[in-house]
Amino acid sequence: MSHTANPAGSGDDKTRRDFLLIASAGMGVVGTALAVWPFIDSMNPAKDVMALAVVEVDLSPVAVGQAITVVWRGKPVFVRHRTPEDIEQARAVNVASLRDPEADEDRVIKPEWLVQIGICTHLGCIPKGQKPSDPKGDYNGWFCVCHGSHYDTAGRIRKGPAPLNLPVPQYAFLDDTTIQIGEE
Amino acid sequence: MKTLIRIGTAAILATGLSLGGTAAQAAGGHGGPELKHPSWTFDGLFGHYNEDQLKRGWEVYSNVCASCHGLEYMHYRNLKGLGYTEDEVEAIAASFEIEDGPDEWGEMFTRPATVVDPIKEPYENDALAKLANGGAVPPNLSVMTRARDHGPDYVYSLMLGYEAGVPEWVHEEDPEFSVPPGKSFNNYFPGYAISMPQQLFPGIMEYSDGTEATPEQMAKDVVTFLQWAAEPELEKRKDLGRYVLVFLIVFTGVLYAYKREIWKNAH
Amino acid sequence: MSSTPSPVWSNPAIKWVDRRMPIFSLMHKELIVYPTPRNLNYWWNFGSLAGIALVILIFSGIFLAMHYVPHEDMAFASVERLMREVNSGWLIRFIHMNTVSLFFLCVYIHIFRGMYYGSYKAPRELLWIIGVIIYFVMVGTAFLGYVLPWGQMSFWAATVITSLVTPIPLVGEELAIWLWGGFGVNNATLQRFFSLHYLLPMVIFALVFLHLWALHTTKSNNPLGVDVKKKADTLPFHPYYTMKDAFGLGVALVVLSYFIFFNPNYFNHSINYVMADPMVTPEHIVPEWYFLPFYAILRAIPDKLGGVVLMFLSILIWMALPWLDRSRVRSGKFRPVFKWFFWVWVADFVLLTWLGAMPAEGTYVTMGQWATAYYFAHFVVILPLLGWFEKTKPVPESISAAVTAGHDKEAAA
């Protein structure tokens, strides 16, 4: 808002005054912004939450063909020890024909271990397919019972309303049978 | 100038009012020795912690204090703040067995602690702590230096404040005074009879960095560690505080200049 | 008083809103051109400063509430978690804790300034009364907030203060049980205190608007206590007083930051870092510094009910000031005898503050009784009598006349 309450001074006075106005306003704006940052930052995950954001999983008890579900950052992570047939099936597909084209090689670090976040990319349900008795869908992977999305043995969407493949979290092998999910 | 004097008066009034509060805390009616006040690295405008000293303090805590006193609200991962590496902290954590569970058979089991686990408490509950310590629960140490007036000086003095007999000045205050069985005399403990026996003697432990473990050295190191446990934010707080103060003082100066400039024509 | 025409807004969006709801015109009138006496001194800074402290408190409090758990088993630990685990949690808590002291300090100076310059006199009685109500709600809010960390002092302050209702005849005991939601301070008490501690600042905020409304109706008093008579007596609020207030805010923030960053627990009691234990009372129960004078008055009276009544009266009596002070002259500047008694009363108030922190024994009790007696005598005896007997000095005709006279004096010297 402009206004002219100040009686006009000489030219020098005006320069001095303008400088002081800009300096005060500038420091005020910068100071306020800096002061607000800690408050905004306090809403980010706290240190204890971050400390639990990385989990180590021991894979040694998981036999070929079995799957386990681990909780990571409050979400289910599907880890499947794939059979050679699973891998073969996943790699036999023409990648370009997929809805969300992604090669199986790009979704795994070691072919026998598939690690992915078990949340359907359609509307957030948890697909079936982890337990031996579960329906695995038309492609022997996972099947989301909410709206009928079918995922293949690489966790890629093949049929149904979901738009994307099951996401692969960031993980690394610490040794042959231990993975760490989440970055450190 | 007059206005500055007035602001000064306001500030003095403020301090005067607040001193009332602290005076009450200091008044304890104590005829004994004054609290010892060694020089602390964490005091003052440029206060900070020394990592070597913090590590020594942790060694004193784990060798001497930890068998009875816990560090509630703290986790093994916090020990990285002492200057230990990730691997060292993992090793420290793994040396403790903690209870976890129930497993898939409904049983509790023990496992080595990991960095994200809380630092293990010496007793499972207060009742056990009481039973093991003649009816007194050893207090949690993670907030100790904040939870006592002049906390660091007090804990330091207390650790070194044991006397074999009852000193003369106590009997001048109260001729009937005697230390009940199972308690020890301490110059600085309120009521002088403390449940914790003297802990720091020459030669009870050795520092891994080769520093000579005299009682004074151990007391100073462990208090520094406890101060860090109570105020882990201290270094960050003071670092930030110095920037904030400089910024605000300059800002206030600019505001004053601008205010004067504006008011020049109004007088 | 000069009436100010609404400005013509050039920005079409502002124009559109302003025609339908003249909020910009209102802000222009009350915050920009508002005619303010030209002779306000720095004691007039503390009202707006208190307002800013309130905003800082509400703002930081909203963020604290995101991490706080109002449960007897978790409250203390949630505060520790806030200080250790939450990003900048320690900073937000220390800002909140220390700004309370700044708020009370500003409000006390603001009240004393009003007393010295007769700001409560007609036509500003309602403005003054709303101010006293704000102070009352502040006291309640600060007390409720102090209970939330659930330390030893929190718990025992809650116990002592809620027990103040027990001497009330017939219903006292039931009232206490109702306040507690149990048979002593317990989890239910903590939860309702948290709820109310979040509510009352909003009430204060609303009351501040009434306070400002009344202020802008009667216009500001000034150190001379004479009414504004012509345009030359005033200056537009902006930029003259906005900048003066901004400078004062800068000074206040420097002091506040020193405490936040270098002495954050200075106004706190160390024993409040020991978790509440209903089985152990701390040796010295001392309220926060801003409650000490009233605590001294409470303890000065050997009778339980009498002490409580007197404590509340000691604040309520401020509301009657416009009628207790019979002098026709507003400002203490022209009241040679009042001026003297005013400072004696302030000294008495500081003495009560000091006494409130002392143990209730021996000479402290006697001193407390005399100081309490003087506190009330000032209002019910000295002020009414001064109105009759005091010979006041001549009051200048107008603000601008006094300012010009002052300049002449300076020029002569």
Give yes or no for B94 touching A (CB within 8 A). Answer: no
In a domain, C271, yes or no: yes
**How high is the mean pLDDT of chain C?**
94
Overall average pLDDT of the A71-95 stretch: 93
Are C227 and C303 members of one domain?
A: no
Overall average pLDDT of the C326-337 stretch: 95
Are A87 and A102 members of one domain?
A: yes
pLDDT for B2 equals: 47
In a domain, A2, yes or no: no
For the stretch C10-22, pLDDT in tens is 999 999 999 999 9
Q: In the β-sheet with A149-152, what is the strand arrangement from edge to edge?
A: A140-144, A149-152, A157-159
Are C197 and C177 members of one domain?
A: yes
CATH code of the domain covering residue C69: 1.20.810.10
- Chains with 3+ CB–CB pairs under 8 A to A are B, C
Are C291 and C265 members of one domain?
A: no
Are C291 and C272 members of one domain?
A: no
Are C214 and C275 members of one domain?
A: yes
Are A89 and A34 members of one domain?
A: no
Are C237 and C354 members of one domain?
A: no
In a domain, A3, yes or no: no
Are A18 and A93 members of one domain?
A: no
C-alpha–C-alpha distance, residues C14 and C8, integer Å? 10
Q: Give the rounded percent of residues in chain C with a pLDDT score beyond 90.
A: 90
Are C179 and C97 members of one domain?
A: yes
Are A87 and A147 members of one domain?
A: yes
- Short-list C273, C292, C358, C291, CA closest to B28: C358
**How high is the mean pLDDT of chain A?**
90
* Contacting residues for B60 by C-beta, under 8 A, at least 6 apart: B205, B218, B221, B222, B225
Are A97 and A28 members of one domain?
A: no
**How high is the mean pLDDT of chain B?**
89
In a domain, C18, yes or no: no
In a domain, A38, yes or no: yes
Are C52 and C133 members of one domain?
A: yes
Structural domain that includes position C296: 287-319+336-391
pLDDT for B70 equals: 96
E strands, A44-124, are 55-58, 67-72, 75-81, 113-117
pLDDT for B1 equals: 41
**Dihedral (C-alpha) C330, C336, C339, C341: value to the nearest 10 degrees?**
-120
C-alpha–C-alpha distance, residues A164 and A101, integer Å? 9
Are C260 and C352 members of one domain?
A: no
Least CA distance to B252: which residue of chain A?
A24
In a domain, A5, yes or no: no
Are A169 and A149 members of one domain?
A: yes
Which residues 143-172 of A have a C-beta within 8 angstroms of B?
none
pLDDT for C403 equals: 77
In a domain, C24, yes or no: no
C-alpha–C-alpha distance, residues B89 and B100, integer Å? 20
H-type alpha helices, C181-303:
187-218, 242-262, 292-300
pLDDT for A121 equals: 94
Are A99 and A157 members of one domain?
A: yes
Q: Chain C interface, mutation test: which of B248, B264, B267, most C Cβ atoms within 10 Å?
A: B248
Q: Chain A interface, mutation test: which of C60, C86, C241, C243, most A Cβ atoms within 10 Å?
A: C86
CATH code of the domain covering residue A163: 2.102.10.10
In a domain, A32, yes or no: yes
C-alpha–C-alpha distance, residues C291 and C250, integer Å? 27
Are A35 and A120 members of one domain?
A: no
Are C278 and C353 members of one domain?
A: no
In a domain, C20, yes or no: no
Are C49 and C156 members of one domain?
A: yes
A147 is catalytic: yes
Are A55 and A40 members of one domain?
A: no
- Short-list B211, A62, A35, CA closest to C63: A35
Place C407 in a pLDDT band, splitting at 50, 70 and 90. Answer: low
CB A98 within 8 A of CB A146: no
Looking at beta carbons, which residues of chain B come within 8 Å of A29?
none
Give yes or no for B125 touching C (CB within 8 A). Answer: no
Are A151 and A87 members of one domain?
A: yes
Are C152 and C264 members of one domain?
A: yes
pLDDT for B157 equals: 97
Q: What's the CA angle centered on C367, arms C366 and C371, to 5 degrees?
A: 120
pLDDT for C57 equals: 98
Tell me the two tokens of residue C367.
């001193």
For the stretch B20-54, pLDDT in tens is 444 333 334 456 799 999 999 999 999 999 999 99
Give yes or no for B6 touching C (CB within 8 A). Answer: yes
Domain count, chain A: 2
Are A57 and A38 members of one domain?
A: no
Residue B10 has pLDDT above 80, yes or no: no
Catalytic residue among A3, A81, A122, A147: A147
Are A98 and A127 members of one domain?
A: yes
In a domain, A1, yes or no: no
Which residues 7-66 of B have a C-beta within 8 angstroms of C?
7, 10-11, 13-14, 16-18, 20-25, 27, 45
In a domain, A98, yes or no: yes
Query: What is the reported pTM?
Result: 0.90
Place C405 in a pLDDT band, splitting at 50, 70 and 90. Answer: confident
Residue C244 has pLDDT above 50, yes or no: yes
Place C410 in a pLDDT band, splitting at 50, 70 and 90. Answer: low
* Sign of the CA dihedral with B75 first, then B79, B85, and B88 last: negative
A160-169, B12-21, C95-104, C305-314: lowest mean pLDDT where? B12-21
Domain count, chain C: 2
pLDDT for C408 equals: 62
Residue A2 has pLDDT above 50, yes or no: no
Structural domain that includes position A39: 10-44
